[in-house]
Amino acid sequence: MRSPATVTAVVLLALAAAALPARAADGPGEAGNPPRGLFLTVSGSDSTWIRGVLLQCAPGPSGPHPAASDACAALEKAKGDFDKLPGNARACTKQYEPVTVSAAGSWGGLRTAWRKTYPNACVLETATGPVFRF
């Protein structure tokens, strides 16, 4: 039986490999630039499950993120600071089912790496709004 860490590593490697052709298409002289867009992940307690999606906001919202326009608008409002996302205020239960989210890539031409664990999906939604809604 595989450990959750092994499964997580395999999933992340597969997702990274899928993103490589997009980086290779950057063209000559652009190798030093940060990758375009943000790779967002959401995972359950002890990495029992994980999902990820690419969000691209420049020059306009695009990518497979199902709420790309809303997510980009929220990031714009927070000036790319994930700790200042507007979120969606609502009451949540105190049930503890932790979810961990991360963002890696670039925002506004700068490299970005951010990670945070929330006590449950409701608290995640109230804190981050549409950004991790996928």
Over the stretch 25-82, which tens digit does the pLDDT of each residue have? 333 334 555 458 999 999 998 878 999 999 999 999 998 999 999 999 999 999 999 9
pLDDT one-digit tens code per residue, 69-126 = 999 999 999 999 999 999 999 999 999 999 999 999 999 888 999 999 999 999 999 9
Question: What distance separates the 2 farthest-apart alpha carbons in the chain?
Answer: 51
* Model pLDDT, residue 47: 76
Instruction: Tell me the C-alpha distance between 40 and 102, whole Å.
Output: 6
Of residues 117, 50, 43, the one with CA closest to residue 82: 117
pTM, entire model = 0.72
Quick check: 112 and 39 in contact, CB under 8 A?
no
